[in-house]
């Protein structure tokens, strides 16, 4: 059975929070997120019923929280499998972060009552207990049904239903056309088929983007400040943070470590990392910093590229402009407090928003906030609009989207419509997973509602 | 005076499409079998369309053939026109459809039944059915009493049949035959959950009174494909069909007389099929449509009777004549048989197991329209499965349950016994989630090994099948190994089929992956191609072109079969299972699924209920250890 994990303490503020991981891979999974400081032993070397003190880190290596890891060896655990329990300081936000890291390390989310179910299947609890478990599962499913009901009235449910309706009627048309070839049902024009698929794809992408937006609003977006040495990256960071965080210095290449901090700009939360210059340095210590910066730039969701208007643009500046060509970036025309040797218009040619700033004199901050919000799409953030809120919703929508793209690709490559329709139905199934209906039945109903078919 | 006549292993009531396959399968598997029909002259009658096949129904016929049933061979022997529908829409939905000489088909089937060992066919109306001391007893109108270990009900539209034409209504079977009225009462007395369904059939007119110059002609295909994988007959097109259209006048006549329709006057309680609407239904429900298509289909070679597909109606006879005459080409049509609606008794199929045996009546099976389906092919498919399973019961073998991934037959039966139906159930390709695998062209690959294992496929046929399978594997290997060198010739072929030219040589298999390129296009460059039957090349080409989709569906099937293997004991007491929601417990207790997979497809049963069920299963397994 797969290794599962969940927060196993009540979702309330305060106290400690426990994340339970159970399954064959439990220890290997925990090993990836947990760093011991109290012992030199790894979790894999630890006996059952022993604990280690240390901290948990994210998939990216970021320290998340202090933690005590408790190791249980099969069959001597609640579930009868290998189990690791990570006791953290709590706080739902942090616990969720830790859980995310555990999932990234290879565990899958536990279903309602699954720990207990496994305990029963591994004969860890007796029959009377098992019956109680069944009641718990039932109660939890009632609760999730109630949650689903409220979601039904929500904007997201409506939006998804809308997209799905268009796909169901498309599939029903295809089905009627193939199942009733002798009834005069018009073939769907390739353009129409394509148009519906495209519009559904766009809507899915837009919805998936809301997941990003809602994440940006609640959790933040990884932001990298890039630019060659001494263009004023650290001052910009300080401008944004409003406090002295990085050292501002005239000596090139002193900002060697990536410093990370989260700040709010309008609705958006920026997770900022100051970076060492992009300059190819012969200094080995600096090079470590540079390669880290490049990596950061690749994975960043937003790039603030800084240029010094008081010095002529150099090779490194052009290389930077080239490197961020396909990234979400804002070009910052910095040091307007000094006399400029080139015009901001020059940057405008690169098709990205340009903001004129003097990081030192704190001029242009409003314009920067505005540009950031524009770029991230958080400006008009409306918490009542259809928003993807959960991983599950995102997963279902992601599946639907890839099926739709597959359908479109099949259509383009000239594959027959039966194949296109299979992808289309798979997309519908993914949508219906969110609403609990079944695709084939829905399509059948639709055929008879809208097509005059049969002898 | 009642007298005891004889005991059989299996008695089949009805010799329609379900009864035929059921009785043949039972007898062929070595059981002493009797089949009773109200009228020996109409064995395998087609009271509706004189045709077999069509979308997904053509799939069913080929599956029946692959399992060792008779319908495909009979259709091949008696067809008068054949077409492969949906060419160009993809291999999953290609479907064979043939016009059949209706009388010829009936004669053919009657003779097959007459000459089958272990089988006795009799004209007798069964008027009573009951169980006593582990045996079923069947009483005929002439007071003979037969007994049988298993009984298969294949009563079609005969069971308590009632015909409606306008305000006229009377008890009747189809085509002027007797209804099985007393049997209907006897079955209700058993306590079986009975419902009323209805269906309809259009008028028949005399060919000589039609004006074909005003019609579109519809010819058969040039290249014909047999229904059977082991063809016994050379097939040719002998007739054409034609198409005409209704018009504004037709519509007006119908709308003006709606109050005279028994359907609209609320006289018929039976539920009609959604996919088979009467012309008045079509006009009312799709009022924006300007015209409806009507197909003109000959009923046979030695008759002038023509079937008007699309004009089924229960309006009064005079109104029918009026609207027929309003149609261009039918102005002077002489009506030979009037259209009618027929209402009949059938069972709620949720009372059946996937073997088609009743959950609550041991040895009693249902098949065909009696189970709530509609269509000759759907009936035959169920008849075959019911016949096999009745025989297996007699022989002490496990029942044959075909799952949804194996066939349309399995999908049809699973839908019926798991989801039930609220109107007569018709097969459709869109009902199968695995349709890229369940193609009509590979029914033998899917089912012939099963047919052989059961004993309905003989050694010779099985060996031919194994050879075909080996040829497919060898050819697949060849196209994967064979290189096509770069040449002007190949690039000219590719460019002329709107696909990109080669920059260097490549394997044959790579070219076959391209949607517009097939064996036919590649023959000038594929010079070492072995001489193999066209079906072999077809299998290889489809497997290559749709490989991604086929693999994905195979993965889904694997996942589905995991739950299908978890068997639920028949004695399961759902109300005593803690944690099962009331709705789920009620549904499960009613449907009594055979395995967890089937349970998961019941509407109203949630994934949480399935978890509870799995726990309970593990628990009861533990108790039995």
The nearest CA of chain A is from the CA of B472 a distance in Å of 22
| Mean per-residue pLDDT of chain B | 93
Task: Kindly state the average pLDDT of the residues B373-401.
Answer: 97
- Cβ–Cβ gap A422/B549 under 8 Å: yes
Task: Kindly report the pTM of this predicted structure.
Answer: 0.77
What fold, for A220-376?
A: Rossmann fold (3.40.50)
Please write down the HEC assignment for all residues of B111-143: HHHHHCCCEEEEECCEEEEEEECCEEEEEECCC
Question: Pick from B548, B581, B606: which residue ends a domain?
Answer: B548
pLDDT bracket for residue A112 (50, 70, 90)? low
User: Over pLDDT 90: what percentage of chain A?
Assistant: 17
- Cβ–Cβ gap A419/B549 under 8 Å: yes
- Which two tokens mark B422? 């609220």
pLDDT bracket for residue B560 (50, 70, 90)? confident
Task: Kindly state the average pLDDT of the residues B283-295.
Answer: 88
Domain of residue B496 covers 460-548
Q: Which of B85, B310, B615 sits opposite A120 (nearest CB)?
A: B615
The reported pLDDT for the residue numbered A443 is: 64
ipTM (interface pTM) = 0.82
Nearest residue in A to B242, CA atom:
A182
- Which two tokens mark B144? 């003979």
Whether B292 is covered by a domain: the verdict is yes
- Cβ–Cβ gap B289/A130 under 8 Å: no
Task: Kindly state the average pLDDT of the residues B307-313.
Answer: 93
Task: Kindly state the average pLDDT of the residues B587-601.
Answer: 92
Q: Which of B89, B431, B580 sits opposite A416 (nearest CB)?
A: B89
Task: Kindly state the average pLDDT of the residues B380-402.
Answer: 98
The reported pLDDT for the residue numbered A131 is: 55
Test mutation, B57, B244, B246, B615, chain A, max A CBs within 10 A: B615
In chain B, residues with a C-beta closer than 8 Å to the C-beta of A144 are: 608
Whether B515 is covered by a domain: the verdict is yes
CATH of domain A4-146: 3.30.1360.120
In chain A, residues with a C-beta closer than 8 Å to the C-beta of B285 are: 452
In chain B, residues with a C-beta closer than 8 Å to the C-beta of A127 are: 619
Q: Which of A135, A177, A452 sits opposite B289 (nearest CB)?
A: A452
Task: Kindly state the average pLDDT of the residues B56-79.
Answer: 98
Please write down the HEC assignment for all residues of chain A: CCCEEEECCCCCCCCCEEEEEECCCHHHHHHHHEEECCCCCCHHHCCCCEEEEEEEECCCCCEEEEEEEEEECCCCCCCCCCEEEEEECCCHHHHHHHHHHHHHCCCEECCCCHHHHHHHHCCCCCHHHHHHHHHHHHHHHHHHHHHHHHHHHCHHHHHHHHHHHHHHHHHHHHHHHHHCCCCCCCCCCHHHHHHHHHHHHHHHHHHHHHHHHHHHHHCCEEEEEECCCCCCHHHHHHHHHCCCCCCCCCCCCCCCCCCEEEEEECCEEEEEECCCCCCCCCCHHHHHHHHHHHHHHHHCCEEEEEEECCCCCCHHHHHHHHHCCCCCEEEEEECCCCCCCCCCHHHHCCCCCEEECECCCCECHHHHHHHHHHHHCCCCCCCCCCCCCCHHHHHHHHHHHHHHHHHHHHHHHCCCHHHHHHHHHHHHHHHHHHHCCCHHHHHHHHHHHHCCCCC
> Per residue in A406-424, is it b (16+ CB within 10 Å) or e — as a string?
bbbebbeeebbbbbbbbbb
A178-216 confidence digits (pLDDT tens): 888 877 788 888 899 999 999 999 999 988 887 777 778
Residue B610, domain CATH:
1.10.150.570
The reported pLDDT for the residue numbered A152 is: 46
The reported pLDDT for the residue numbered B546 is: 92
pLDDT bracket for residue A227 (50, 70, 90)? confident
Test mutation, B374, B498, B579, B613, chain A, max A CBs within 10 A: B579
Whether B533 is covered by a domain: the verdict is yes
Cα of first residue to Cα of last residue in chain A, in angstroms, is 51
The nearest CA of chain B is from the CA of A303 a distance in Å of 38
- Cβ–Cβ gap B55/A181 under 8 Å: yes
- Which two tokens mark B597? 């997979």
B517 and B542 in a common domain: yes
> Does residue B606 or residue A134 have the better pLDDT?
B606
> Does residue A5 or residue B27 have the better pLDDT?
B27
The nearest CA of chain B is from the CA of A185 a distance in Å of 10
The reported pLDDT for the residue numbered A256 is: 46
- Cβ–Cβ gap B56/A179 under 8 Å: yes
Residue B262, domain CATH:
2.40.30.260
In chain A, residues with a C-beta closer than 8 Å to the C-beta of B293 are: 182-184
pLDDT bracket for residue A148 (50, 70, 90)? very low
B575 and B520 in a common domain: no
pLDDT at residue A123 greater than cutoff 80: no
B253 and B338 in a common domain: yes
pLDDT at residue A417 greater than cutoff 50: yes
pLDDT bracket for residue A453 (50, 70, 90)? low
pLDDT at residue B623 greater than cutoff 80: no
The reported pLDDT for the residue numbered B78 is: 98
Task: Kindly state the average pLDDT of the residues A47-57.
Answer: 89
Among B54, B163, B151, which Cα is nearest to B367's?
Answer: B151
The reported pLDDT for the residue numbered A209 is: 80
The reported pLDDT for the residue numbered A246 is: 45
Least confident residue range of A434-443, B366-375, B418-427, B562-571: A434-443
- Which two tokens mark A133? 């478990």
pLDDT at residue B501 greater than cutoff 90: yes
> Does residue B357 or residue A94 have the better pLDDT?
B357
Whether B477 is covered by a domain: the verdict is yes
The nearest CA of chain A is from the CA of B601 a distance in Å of 9
- Cβ–Cβ gap B428/A179 under 8 Å: yes
pLDDT bracket for residue A280 (50, 70, 90)? very low
Task: Kindly state the average pLDDT of the residues A326-350.
Answer: 89
B24-62 confidence digits (pLDDT tens): 999 999 999 999 999 999 999 999 999 999 999 999 999
pLDDT bracket for residue A450 (50, 70, 90)? low
In chain A, residues with a C-beta closer than 8 Å to the C-beta of B86 are: 178, 181
B229 and B338 in a common domain: yes
Q: What ranges in B355-406 are assigned the alpha helix state H?
A: 376-395
pLDDT at residue B578 greater than cutoff 60: yes
Test mutation, A135, A145, A179, chain B, max B CBs within 10 A: A179
Question: Pick from B494, B513, B548: which residue ends a domain?
Answer: B548
B208 and B301 in a common domain: yes
Q: Which of B91, B581, B612 sits opposite A418 (nearest CB)?
A: B91
Test mutation, B46, B243, B432, B608, chain A, max A CBs within 10 A: B608
User: Over pLDDT 90: what percentage of chain B?
Assistant: 82
Tell me if domain A4-146 and domain A155-210+390-450 are identical in fold.
Answer: no
Among B412, B388, B415, which Cα is nearest to B400's?
Answer: B388
- Cβ–Cβ gap A440/B433 under 8 Å: yes
Question: Pick from B343, B362, B395: which residue ends a domain?
Answer: B343
Task: Kindly state the average pLDDT of the residues B348-364.
Answer: 97
Q: Which of A180, A414, A423 sits opposite B516 (nearest CB)?
A: A414
pLDDT at residue A255 greater than cutoff 60: no
- Cβ–Cβ gap B545/A453 under 8 Å: no
pLDDT bracket for residue A276 (50, 70, 90)? very low
CB A279 within 8 A of CB A248: no
- Cβ–Cβ gap A120/B310 under 8 Å: no
| Mean per-residue pLDDT of chain A | 78
Nearest residue in B to A415, CA atom:
B515
Q: Which of A138, A145, A443 sits opposite B579 (nearest CB)?
A: A138
Domain ranges of chain A: 4-146, 155-210+390-450, 220-376
pLDDT bracket for residue A41 (50, 70, 90)? confident
Report the domain count for chain B. Answer: 3
The nearest CA of chain A is from the CA of B106 a distance in Å of 22
Nearest residue in A to B91, CA atom:
A418
pLDDT bracket for residue A392 (50, 70, 90)? low
pLDDT bracket for residue A361 (50, 70, 90)? confident
What fold, for A155-210+390-450?
A: 1.20.120
């Amino acid at each position: 059975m797969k290794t599962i994990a969940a927060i196993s303490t009540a979702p309330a503020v305060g106290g400690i929070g426990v994340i339970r991981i159970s399954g064959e891979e439990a220890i290997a999974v925990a090993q990836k997120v947990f760093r011991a400081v109290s012992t030199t032993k790894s979790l894999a070397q630890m006996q059952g019923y022993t604990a280690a003190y240390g901290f948990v880190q994210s998939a990216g290596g970021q320290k998340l929280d202090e933690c005590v890891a408790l190791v249980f060896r099969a069959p001597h655990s609640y579930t009868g499998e290998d189990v690791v329990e990570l006791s953290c300081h709590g706080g739902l936000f942090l616990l969720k972060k830790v859980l995310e890291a555990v999932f990234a390390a290879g565990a899958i989310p536990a279903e309602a009552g699954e720990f207990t179910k496994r305990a029963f299947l591994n004969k860890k609890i007796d029959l009377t207990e098992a019956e109680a478990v069944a009641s718990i599962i039932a109660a939890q499913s009632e609760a999730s049904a109630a949650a689903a009901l409220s979601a039904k009235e929500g904007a997201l449910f409506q939006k998804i239903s809308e997209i799905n309706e268009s796909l169901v009627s498309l599939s029903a048309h295809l089905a009627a056309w193939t199942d009733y070839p002798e009834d005069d049902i018009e073939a769907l024009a390739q353009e129409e088929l394509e148009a519906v698929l495209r519009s559904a794809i766009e809507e899915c992408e837009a919805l998936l983007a809301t997941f990003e937006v809602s994440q940006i609003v609640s959790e933040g977006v990884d932001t990298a400040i890039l630019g060659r040495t001494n263009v004023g990256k650290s001052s910009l960071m300080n401008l944004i943070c409003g406090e002295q965080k990085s050292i501002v210095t005239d000596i090139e290449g002193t900002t060697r470590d990536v410093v990370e901090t989260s700040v709010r700009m309008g609705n958006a939360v920026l997770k900022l990392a100051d970076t060492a210059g992009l300059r190819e340095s012969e200094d080995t210590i600096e090079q470590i910093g540079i390669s880290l910066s490049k990596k950061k730039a690749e994975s960043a969701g937003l790039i603030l590229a800084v240029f010094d208007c008081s010095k002529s643009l150099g090779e490194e500046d052009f290389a930077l402009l080239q490197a961020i060509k396909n990234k979400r970036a804002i070009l910052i025309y910095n040091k307007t407090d000094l006399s400029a040797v080139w015009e901001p218009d020059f940057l405008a040619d690169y098709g990205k928003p340009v903001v004129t700033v003097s990081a030192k004199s704190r001029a242009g901050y409003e314009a920067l906030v505005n540009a950031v919000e524009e770029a991230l799409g958080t400006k008009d953030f409306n918490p009542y609009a259809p928003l993807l809120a959960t991983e599950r919703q995102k997963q279902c929508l992601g599946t639907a989207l890839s099926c739709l793209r597959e359908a479109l690709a099949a259509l383009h490559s000239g594959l027959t419509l039966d194949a296109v329709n299979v992808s289309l139905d798979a997309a519908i199934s993914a949508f219906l997973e969110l609403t609990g209906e079944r695709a084939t039945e829905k399509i059948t109903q639709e055929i008879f509602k809208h097509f005059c078919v049969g002898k | 005076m009642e007298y005891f006549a004889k005991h059989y292993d299996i008695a089949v009531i009805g010799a329609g499409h379900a009864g035929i396959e059921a009785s043949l399968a039972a007898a062929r598997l070595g059981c002493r079998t009797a089949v009773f029909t109200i009228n020996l002259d109409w064995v395998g009658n087609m009271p509706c369309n004189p045709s077999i096949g069509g979308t997904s129904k053509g799939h069913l016929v080929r599956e029946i053939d692959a399992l060792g049933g008779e319908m495909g061979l009979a259709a091949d022997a008696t067809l008068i026109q054949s077409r492969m529908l949906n060419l160009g829409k993809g291999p999953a939905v290609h479907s064979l459809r043939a016009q059949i000489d209706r009388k010829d088909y009936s004669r053919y089937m009657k003779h097959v039944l007459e000459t089958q060992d272990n089988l006795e066919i009799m004209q007798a109306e069964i008027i009573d059915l009951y169980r006593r001391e582990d045996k079923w007893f069947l009483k005929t109108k002439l007071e003979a009493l037969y007994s049988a270990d298993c009984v298969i009900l294949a009563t079609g539209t005969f069971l308590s049949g009632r015909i409606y034409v306008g305000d006229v209504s009377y008890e009747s079977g189809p085509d002027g035959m007797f209804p099985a009225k007393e049997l209907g009462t006897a079955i209700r007395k058993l306590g079986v959950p009975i419902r009323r369904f209805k269906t309809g059939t259009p008028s028949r007119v005399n060919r000589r009174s039609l004006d074909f110059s005003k019609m579109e002609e519809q010819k058969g295909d040039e290249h014909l494909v047999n229904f059977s994988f082991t063809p016994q007959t050379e097939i040719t097109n002998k007739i054409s069909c034609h198409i005409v259209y209704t018009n504004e006048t037709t519509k007006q006549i119908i709308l003006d007389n709606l109050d005279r329709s028994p359907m609209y006057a609320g006289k018929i309680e039976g539920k009609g099929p959604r996919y088979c609407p009467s012309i008045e239904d079509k006009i009312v429900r799709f009022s924006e449509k300007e015209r409806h298509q009507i197909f003109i289909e000959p009923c046979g070679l030695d008759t002038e009777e023509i079937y008007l597909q699309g004009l089924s109606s229960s309006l009064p006879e005079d109104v029918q004549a009026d609207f027929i005459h309003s149609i261009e080409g039918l102005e002077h049509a002489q009506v030979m048989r009037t259209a009618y609606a027929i209402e009949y008794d059938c069972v709620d199929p949720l009372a059946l197991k996937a073997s088609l045996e009743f959950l609550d009546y041991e040895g009693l099976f249902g098949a065909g329209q009696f189970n709530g389906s509609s269509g000759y092919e759907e009936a035959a498919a169920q008849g075959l499965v019911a016949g096999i399973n009745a025989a297996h019961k007699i022989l002490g073998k496990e029942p044959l349950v075909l799952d949804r991934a194996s066939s349309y037959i399995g999908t049809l039966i699973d839908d019926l016994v798991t989801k039930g139906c609220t109107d007569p159930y018709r097969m459709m390709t869109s009902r199968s989630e695995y349709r890229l695998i369940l193609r009509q062209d590979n029914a033998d690959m899917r089912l012939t090994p099963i047919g052989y294992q059961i004993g309905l496929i003989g050694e010779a046929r099985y060996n031919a099948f194994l050879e075909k399978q080996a040829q497919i594997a060898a050819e697949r290997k060849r196209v994967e190994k064979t290189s096509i060198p770069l040449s002007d010739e190949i690039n000219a072929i590719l460019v002329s089929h709107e696909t990109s030219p080669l920059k260097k040589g490549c394997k044959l298999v790579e070219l076959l992956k391209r949607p517009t390129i097939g064996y036919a296009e590649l023959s000038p460059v594929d010079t070492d191609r072995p001489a193999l039957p066209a079906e072999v090349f077809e299998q290889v080409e489809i497997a290559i072109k749709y490989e991604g989709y086929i693999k994905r569906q195979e993965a889904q099937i694997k996942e589905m079969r995991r739950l299908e293997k978890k068997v639920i004991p028949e004695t399961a007491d759902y109300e005593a299972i803690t944690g099962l929601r009331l709705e789920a417990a009620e549904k499960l207790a009613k449907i009594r699924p055979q395995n967890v997979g089937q349970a998961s497809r019941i509407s109203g049963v949630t994934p949480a209920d399935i978890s509870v069920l799995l726990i309970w299963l593990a628990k009861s397994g533990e108790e039995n250890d």
